[in-house]
Structure formats: structure tokens, C-alpha cells
Amino acid sequence: DTGVSQNPRHKITKRGQNVTFRCDPISEHNRLYWYRQTLGQGPEFLTYFQNEAQLEKSRLLSDRFSAERPKGSFSTLEIQRTEQGDSAMYLCASSFFPTGRGEKLFFGSGTQLSVL
């Protein structure tokens, strides 16, 4: 078990550019979540997948954001036409479902995005 891996760790981009982040979950986990965290706040849910199906998207996920998990393993999160307000830490988490009551999430270290 190598844990949840996210790449890159840091990304600096200019406003208007597109960026893509990758998340590799724990191998046997079928659920994968994306969260966004800004300074001084807790993580906010963006979207999640069960296997390759995207089951839910937050209203925070504007049409500039798209996430995929094509083979039910790794996932990518793309932000098009980045804005300064997109600057945040993007966290990925995975879990195995079902596990009974209380779904436990395993988090990656995140990708810190800075939009200049």
C-alpha cells in the first residue's frame, strides 16, 4: 500500500492557462474524491467517482473544471482558463465502498495551485 499519490505537488501558472492534475488512489479503492482547500478553511467537496462513473459534482465545480477516471484507476482534474480565484490546494482522496458505517477517506498530499 503506497498511499494516495498526487502530481504535481506544486503548479504555478498564468491566468488563462489550462492545468491538469493527476491522482493515483490506493489500488483496491473503488471510490475517488476531489476536494479543494483554501487557506484557513477545511476541504470542500468537488466531485467523486465510483469506479469510472462520476456520481456527483458540487456546484463549486464550474464548467471550466472537468474530472475523469477513464479506467476506474487514476483520475485527472483539469481546469481550463484558470483564474486567480482557482488558487488553492487540490486534494484527492480514495476509499473502498461499501465498508459499513462511516466511510474512511485516505488523502493524498495535494497539489498546490498558484495562478498569477
Partner 1 sequence: AQSVTQLDSHVSVSEGTPVLLRCNYSSSYSPSLFWYVQHPNKGLQLLLKYTSAATLVKGINGFEAEFKKSETSFHLTKPSAHMSDAAEYFCVVSPHTNAGKSTFGDGTTLTVKP
Residues in contact with partner 1 by CB under 8 A are 3-4, 31, 33, 40-45, 47-48, 55-56, 91, 93, 95, 97-98, 100-110
Instruction: Report how far apart, in Å, the C-alpha atoms of 89 and of each of 2, 30, 98 are.
Output: 21, 23, 28
CB nearer to partner 1: pick between 85 and 100? 100
- CA dist 101 and 98 (Å) reads 8
Q: From the CB of 48, what's the least distance to partner 1, in Å?
A: 4
CB 74 within 8 A of CB 47: no
- CA dist 39 and 58 (Å) reads 20
Q: From the CB of 15, what's the least distance to partner 1, in Å?
A: 26
Q: From the CB of 70, what's the least distance to partner 1, in Å?
A: 20
